[in-house]
Amino acid sequence: MMTFQNDLLCFSHLRWTFVFQRPQHLMSRFARYSRVYFIEEPVFTGDAAYLQKSICERTGVRVITPTLPVNTSDAQSAVSLQTLLRELLKKEAIHDYAAWYYTPMALEFTSELEPIVTVYDCMDELSNFSNAPAALLQNEQRLFDKADLVFTGGSSLFEAKRGKHPHVYLFPSSVDAAHFAQALTLTDEPDDQRSLPRPRIGYVGVIDERMDLGLLEYLAAQRPEWQIVLIGPVVKIDPQTLPRQNNIHYLGMKSYDQLPAYLSGWNVALLPFAQNDATRFISPTKTPEYLAAGLPVVSTPIRDVVRPYGELGLVCIGHNPQDFLQCVEKQLREERSAAWKAEVEVLLSSQSWDKTWDAMQRLLNKHIALANGAVAARPATDTRTVRTPASGPQQSLT
């Protein structure tokens, strides 16, 4: 089957320059063959409506940031965004294109689009996040009605969404294993981490309402000799609420390319998530990334970490603060066995972003072929699989 090469309009609630995660990994791969327009949520500044345009030098993705006047109402925003989008399609000569949604709220200004295929890539249960828009669930139902394909970022989301659309596919968090495996050989640590004593236990990711700040405070107080390193932006919570013990170090946001160097200097990696509505359906991309870096991992009982990583013995699950602390102590004592390393390698080999992207683009092409009444023949060597909503077991792509 041919590689997907049509233009792609991606509507995202996340900024392109935010933490490098699922949207960035996938859109970067589509951009190797297609014109990809990554359309962000608007910013409100100045007194004119226009589109800020840039091209990501590393990936070729075209980043589109709508700029609207201050104090623009929701209704006015939808009208302005619709007009700006219409102008974008005309100026860029965008005709046969796919529409790819990360946020259902984009439906409020994209209803007149006529894409050849519509995808809803559901990576989070956004309605459970703090300050979620009141219309989000209603717009998500509209998106289910509109979409041709629905992808989910984890098993929990798959179970929650599988009955809402006839074509829901599970694509769990993937990993660029070679990128994070650099941590196994790097020896030159970044300046802001080099002087920290050991042992070091760390976390990479967004610091928001999903974090169990009380757990971090407990660890720091119980083991003052441990250095807790936190890398990532603080969003949606008051920075004043963060624990401030001397052995907790907030190093801020780092680029994707910098992460292996930081991970190379850690002894244990953490997934210190709270148990709340915002974490009920998360599938942390950091889990396979930590493992690819050769790090032992400790997590709170997040469902998509417990299954499969906890059940396979690749991640130690701490069910309460005391249990979590004991897990960290256990991981600090034990060396990674050859069997552990081999099992990690086998698991990660099936979770590459390249394979995930390839399976997704095949589904897009298959839908387009079916819509055109020209179903492509199934290659004899194609054994890729995805999970379908109807059967539960895996089904071969055709």
389 located within any domain: no
pLDDT of 134 over the 80 cut = yes
266 located within any domain: yes
**Same domain? 206 vs 124:** no
Q: Is the omega angle on the peptide bond into residue 296 within 30 degrees of 0, that is, cis? A: no
pLDDT of 133 over the 90 cut = no
- 168-202 as b/e, with b when 16 or more CB fall inside 10 Å? bbbbbbbbbbebbbbbeeeeeeeeebeebeebbbb
**Same domain? 52 vs 142:** yes
User: Using an 8 Å Cβ cutoff, are 176 and 25 in contact?
Assistant: yes
pLDDT of residue 13: 95
Residue 1: band (very low, low, confident or very high) from pLDDT cuts 50, 70, 90: low
Amino acid (one-letter) located at 340? W
Q: What is the CA radius of gyration of the chain?
A: 22
**Same domain? 149 vs 251:** no
Average pLDDT over every residue of 375-397: 35
Residue range of the domain that includes 230 = 177-349
Q: Which CATH number goes with the domain that contains 245? A: 3.40.50.2000
What are residue 240's DSSP bridge partners? none
Distances (CA, A) of 60 to 54, 292, 299: 9, 26, 35
pLDDT of 393 over the 50 cut = no
pLDDT of 388 over the 90 cut = no
> At which residue do the structure tokens 């244990």 appear?
268
**Residue 242, burial from CB neighbour count under 10 angstroms (0-12, 13-18, 19+):** middle
Average pLDDT over every residue of 271-282: 94
pLDDT of 381 over the 50 cut = no
pLDDT of residue 373: 81
**Same domain? 137 vs 270:** no
305 located within any domain: yes
Question: What is the SS3 string spanning the chain?
Answer: CCCCCCEEEEECCCCCCCCCCHHHHHHHHHCCCCCEEEECCCEECCCCCEEEEEECCCCCCEEEEEEECCCCCHHHHHHHHHHHHHHHHHHCCCCCEEEEECCHHHHHHHCCCCCCEEEEEECCCHHHCCCCCCCHHHHHHHHHHHCCEEEECCHHHHHHHCCCCCCEEECCCCECHHHHHHHHCCCCCCHHHHCCCCCEEEEECCECCCECHHHHHHHHHHCCCCEEEEECCECCCCHHHCCCCCCEEEEECCCHHHHHHHHCCCCEEEECECCCHHHCCCCCCHHHHHHHCCCCEEECCCHHHHHHHHCCCCEEECCCHHHHHHHHHHHHHCCCCHHHHHHHHHHHHCCEHHHHHHHHHHHHHHHHHHHCCCCCCCCCCCCCEEECCCCCCEEECC
What does the pLDDT look like over 148-170, one tens digit per residue?
999 999 999 999 999 999 999 99
**Same domain? 322 vs 181:** yes
User: Using an 8 Å Cβ cutoff, are 367 and 10 in contact?
Assistant: no
**Same domain? 56 vs 166:** yes
367 located within any domain: no
Mean pLDDT across the chain: 91
364 located within any domain: no
> At which residue do the structure tokens 């002894």 appear?
267
379 located within any domain: no
297 located within any domain: yes
**Same domain? 195 vs 335:** yes
Examine the fold and report which residue of 139, 170, 201 is the final residue of a domain before the chain moves on. 170
**Same domain? 261 vs 328:** yes
CA 198 to chain centre: 30
Examine the fold and report which residue of 331, 349, 367 is the final residue of a domain before the chain moves on. 349
Residue with the bigger pLDDT between 35 and 128: it is 35
Examine the fold and report which residue of 170, 194, 229 is the final residue of a domain before the chain moves on. 170
Distances (CA, A) of 309 to 188, 300, 339: 30, 12, 15
Domain count, the chain: 2
**Same domain? 291 vs 257:** yes
**Same domain? 144 vs 285:** no
Q: What is the model's pTM? A: 0.90
pLDDT of 384 over the 50 cut = no
Q: What is the rounded CA–CA span in Å between residue 73 and residue 108?
A: 13
What does the pLDDT look like over 9-27, one tens digit per residue?
999 999 999 999 999 999 9
**Same domain? 166 vs 295:** no
366 located within any domain: no
Strands 7-11 and 97-101: parallel
**Same domain? 123 vs 35:** yes
